[in-house]
Structure 1
Amino acid sequence: MALLIGAHQILEMACKKAYKTYHQQINQLENVQREKLKIILKDETLSYEEFRTKFPLTRYSDWKDKIENSREQSINLLNGDKIIRFQPTSGSSEALKFIPYTQGFLDELDQAIGLWLTSLYLEYPNLKHSTHYWSVSWLPESQRKLTLSDNLNDDSALLSFTKRFLTKITQAAPADIALAESAEDAMFATVVYLVADENLGMISVWSPTFALQLFEIIQENQQEIAKVLKHGKWSRPSLNFLKVPKSAKQSKKLLELDLNHANAWKKLWPKLELISSWDTASARHWALNLREKIANVSFEGKGLWATEGVVTIPLNGHYPLTYQSHFYEFLNLADQSIVPSWELKVGQIVSPILTTGSGLTRYVIDDELEVTAFYHQIPCFKFLGRKMTVDLVGEKIDQTVAQHILAQLKSEQYLPISLLGVELNQEKKPHYVLLSEGEAELAPTPEHIDALLKQNFHYELARNLGQLDEPSILHVEDAWDYYKKLAMHNGMIEGNIKPEPLKKMRSLLD
């Protein structure tokens, strides 16, 4: 315990500089941002006004060839800096993307993490006396061959060396869990470590469905987990590469608890004080379920953090711009104008444009944000959702992906109308439904649709982790008529309904 408390104290000291600088310069947004642009571009003479005329807006497709060549040649063709790692992800334009992480870019992320950690220590001081669980960056099973570097799956690798060393002491579960042969084994190992840790004080995940899945696994495998903890031996041989935790005390406690009661979890983890996850847009329903699952624990929503960079973090009840990390512009969705951060106004609906130390310049993140307030001079945002995308649990299926699938399946006798992302269903978890008409015998199998969707990195990951159920086929006589009725059932006005290749629906018709 003394080592744990000491590590937190040193970690807090290491993070305080970011918090102090953020607040010292909080009324100097324009000056800080203009200087940040010069630092990133390594050009002291180029003004922002010249920059915006010289460099166009970009998306991943504009960088793809340079990134692929950088990976093949082991050099950085974007900005010349040494690339520490290529972080795999997916998004609106690509099934699989690789984002270059340079040391400069990692320093930018470290700044935001230090700010967030210090704010947590200030608001929840008891966290300095407990362990934390931060979910690692999971890879889909088909992409495990990508784990060629030791830090690819370790989110703590985003931190500086000192902070990374300290978090290994304060973390409840080792990052090596992500290297298990299957997602099922990795999830099981994770819950064993969590249950073994009576000092667990915080659970930080991205999707609330992931946290709900962890708790479900604990409930479904209560006896097996207790046996592993009692004897200190894995029940699954594939996990023998991991050190097994042992705790007769936690084993006994687990068997005595009825985890269907919200109060029981706090008995398992008496120090549990905070759960953090997404809680806006499509995550809102599941975040509410998560809050109801565990009683007497505080909840904090996540800021906007993409693989390509960070935009906001939670701070004093707001979600302000992490203005000291990258250079930020915003696409005003009302008139398509480009607005620098210091000219934003409350009520604007925007998409962030990042210029970062990774080498990506004027990179558009296709998320919709609302400017909600100002924290001193710093704009604050609310995440509204992803443009032209369905994102039930973090899988990010884009309209172009849906259009490609529908085109593959279409024939003279069979017409797929739309791919529906269904949030709520009494019998299934969130899942996708193919709506179609025509000859029923020509309809694809759910397995075929699943395989096509699994070409998307984050969809496959969500399926591996059990956050999404298998797709289903909804074949009807008149698909357009059903689509209209379904859209109205989900709150749309009939005159505004148009057939879309991809559509999120809260629920299906009874």
Structure 2
Amino acid sequence: MLLTCDPNDKEGSSKLLEDLTTNANRVQNQILEEILIENSKTEYLRSFLNGNTDKVAFKKKVPMVEYEDIKHYIERIVNEAPAEILTSQTITELHTSSGTSGGQRKMMPVTAEDLEIKAFFSHLMSSVMKRSLDGLDEGKGMYLMFIKPEIVTPSGLIARPALTSYYKSRIFKRVCSGFTSPYETIMCLDTEQSMYCQLLCGLIQRDEVFHVGAYYASGFLQGIKFLENYWPELVSNIRTGNLSDWITDTSCRNAVMSILGRPNSELADLVEPMFKGKSWEGIVKRLWPRTKFVDSISTGSMAQYISILDFYSGGLPLVSKAYASSECYFGFNLNPLCKPSDISYTLLPYMAYFEFIPVDKNGEAEGLVGEAVDLVDVKPGKHYELVVTTFTGLYRYRVGDILMVTGFYNNAPQFRFLHRKNVILSIDMDKTNEEDLFNAVTKAKILVESLGCLVTDYTSFPNTTSIPGHYVLFWELKTMENEDLPDLEATIMEQCCNTVEDSLDYVYRRGRSKEKSIGPLEIRVVKYGTFDALMDLFVSQGSSVNQYKTPRCIKSDEALEILNARVVGNFFSKKVPTWELQT
């Protein structure tokens, strides 16, 4: 059931979307039937179904699994000929996850047909975006893109991040002319050289830029931080027409020089005062005046960057187009110009066979785990854990994402991504999920904004070395006026600790107040740039720059060492939160 889509055919694309979402149940059943028939002889499915391709038998006999449950099958694919272990299709490569969401890197099988399905998704999404976003075809995107080194497994398969695979594909090569970054700069494995050259090309072509961004909001903010450090050198390159000597990648250098061309003192004189301004508020609008939106995922763990993105972009719309992972592409945002808090993704029934485990807001199953419901049977307002079955050998695979149903588009449900199931803080009976931590930090950081500071990033860990154990939050701060961080008022920072605790749930507050099983919450302020060093650590361990997300709960001793070495202030909650149930 391979579908094709011409992203320039608005009428045809609209009809496809309507057909797939209106006939969601039929499409889902057809997808599952095709998966079971095609893969019935694989080692994995045969062990449960013995050749049976019936849906009822599938849901009764095939267990729901997590990565650890199928890891030994993946390792066999990595180390030996992967003949029909998980899928009957020929595995062409493996996609590696970043490892920062759930704490471990994963490898997912990929086939030629899977890449065609993802290409269809991208083309259909592109058509949807063109209907909603003026200027998508008129100018270029200043979009920051990076690749990671590939490895070849003992079985001869290439393993690489999904975005690296995409950027090296023929599909991307056909569309890369729509970006200010030359293809050679994206293919540069030296991230620093790549970032410098992409930003330089973006500045030179500033009048052609209609949208800016990066895959994740954090990635785009990395670009802003880079500008803060390198803008004098970038301006000098523009003024003289000479590229810095430390850009040594030959292909990258040649591509940039063809754009840099001659000395351009007029452009240098124009942008230099923008960088020298007292505040960088609205710097994106000033540098790229024709920009209509920021294109970056800002949902889930990325939502904490919304306020600082607003600060730098001058209030440009923040567009989160798609919901996808290394395991599967899921759906896209049919209302891309909505507020970030209103973003819902419409799951495309064609991408995989979807099931949903009813859960509470923390991701705990309600009832028996085996009682998963189909795509069309979810209920608005309810929370679910996402489960997928794909052509590439994932069967009833628990992605670990907790979603809330916000409504339906025709018969296809729309979901708000809430958080990853396994990213939580816990000391005793408390379980603080990513969404609750984000909401608490959002309320507290308003207090430091009154001091002229911004919380640029944060993470946490449960400190169980103290008695009782307590939550530790690491906050990276910067001033709005680009000045040195002032001495922080202890009373304000203690209020921040209090506000976080007051915002956490009843179980936490009871543990703090009545049962005294949790100690006072601590905020450790770290030097500006600390979270860059944290990212460098994870990237050095194999994470992709494109896919990197700041882990909201630190599990690595090396990461904790980096954070603790850069602490410039410690503050504790001085007030015990009330623990009565709030109504």
**TM-score category (smaller protein):** 0.7 to 0.9
Q: Does structure 1 residue 343 correspond to structure 2 residue 348?
A: no
Following TM superposition, by how much is the alpha carbon of 1:178 offset from its aligned partner in structure 2, in angstroms?
A: 5.4
Q: Does structure 1 residue 387 correspond to structure 2 residue 406?
A: no
Following TM superposition, by how much is the alpha carbon of 1:323 offset from its aligned partner in structure 2, in angstroms?
A: 1.6
Following TM superposition, by how much is the alpha carbon of 1:119 offset from its aligned partner in structure 2, in angstroms?
A: 1.3
1:328 — aligned with what? Answer: 354
Following TM superposition, by how much is the alpha carbon of 1:150 offset from its aligned partner in structure 2, in angstroms?
A: 9.0
Contact 1:206 1:302 in 2 (8 A): no
Q: 1:16 to 1:216 in 2, by over 3 A?
A: farther
**Residue 48 of structure 1: which of 46, 55, 63 is its match?**
55
Contact 2:28 2:353 in 1 (8 A): yes
The two structures have a TM-score, normalised by structure 1, of: 0.73
1:362 — aligned with what? Answer: 396
Q: Does structure 1 residue 131 correspond to structure 2 residue 140?
A: yes
Deviations 1:253-286 (A, max 9, x none): 3224346454553343243222122333443231
Q: 1:275 to 1:455 in 2, by over 3 A?
A: closer
**Secondary structure of 2:137's match?**
helix
Aligned ranges 1:263-278 → 2 under 5 Å: 263-278=282-297
Deviations 1:330-378 (A, max 9, x none): 1111414311101001011011111112211111111111101111211
Aligned ranges 1:124-163 → 2 under 5 Å: 124-136=133-145, 138-139=147-148, 144=149, 146=151, 152=160, 155=163, 157-158=165-166, 163=171
Question: How many residues are aligned here?
Answer: 445
Contact 1:96 1:456 in 2 (8 A): no
Q: Does structure 1 residue 312 correspond to structure 2 residue 331?
A: yes
Q: Percent identity?
A: 16
Distance 1:176 1:305 in 2: 26
Contact 1:92 1:396 in 2 (8 A): no
Distance 2:547 2:89 in 1: 35
1:373 — aligned with what? Answer: 407
Distance 2:236 2:547 in 1: 25
Distance 1:238 1:415 in 2: 53
Which ranges of structure 1 fall in alignment gaps of 5 or more residues? 1-9, 429-435, 438-446, 497-510
Contact 2:458 2:476 in 1 (8 A): no
**Residue 352 of structure 1: which of 359, 380, 386 is its match?**
386
Contact 2:218 2:549 in 1 (8 A): no
The two structures have a TM-score, normalised by structure 2, of: 0.65
Distance 2:382 2:128 in 1: 27
Deviations 1:290-348 (A, max 9, x none): 12312363321344211111223110354211222111111111414311101001011
Aligned ranges 1:233-312 → 2 under 5 Å: 233-242=243-252, 243-244=255-256, 245-246=259-260, 248=264, 250-258=267-275, 260-295=279-314, 297-312=316-331
Q: Does structure 1 residue 111 correspond to structure 2 residue 120?
A: yes
Following TM superposition, by how much is the alpha carbon of 1:88 offset from its aligned partner in structure 2, in angstroms?
A: 1.5
Distance 1:382 1:111 in 2: 23
Following TM superposition, by how much is the alpha carbon of 1:250 offset from its aligned partner in structure 2, in angstroms?
A: 4.5
Contact 2:32 2:353 in 1 (8 A): yes
1:37 — aligned with what? Answer: 32
Q: 1:223 to 1:147 in 2, by over 3 A?
A: farther
Distance 1:74 1:176 in 2: 34
Following TM superposition, by how much is the alpha carbon of 1:175 offset from its aligned partner in structure 2, in angstroms?
A: 5.2
Q: 1:49 to 1:92 in 2, by over 3 A?
A: farther
Deviations 1:392-451 (A, max 9, x none): 89x999x9xx79xx89xx7xxx889467454564569xxxxxxx99xxxxxxxxx9xx99
Following TM superposition, by how much is the alpha carbon of 1:156 offset from its aligned partner in structure 2, in angstroms?
A: 7.7
Larger mean Cα displacement after TM superposition, 291-300 or 43-52: 43-52
**Secondary structure of 1:320's match?**
strand
Deviations 1:3-59 (A, max 9, x none): xxxxxxx97327875543121232211101000112233359834322211311111
Larger mean Cα displacement after TM superposition, 113-122 or 206-215: 206-215
Following TM superposition, by how much is the alpha carbon of 1:467 offset from its aligned partner in structure 2, in angstroms?
A: 6.7
Aligned AA (2:89): D
Aligned AA (1:52): K
Aligned AA (2:243): K
Following TM superposition, by how much is the alpha carbon of 1:78 offset from its aligned partner in structure 2, in angstroms?
A: 1.7
Q: Does structure 1 residue 224 correspond to structure 2 residue 233?
A: yes
Q: 1:217 to 1:416 in 2, by over 3 A?
A: farther
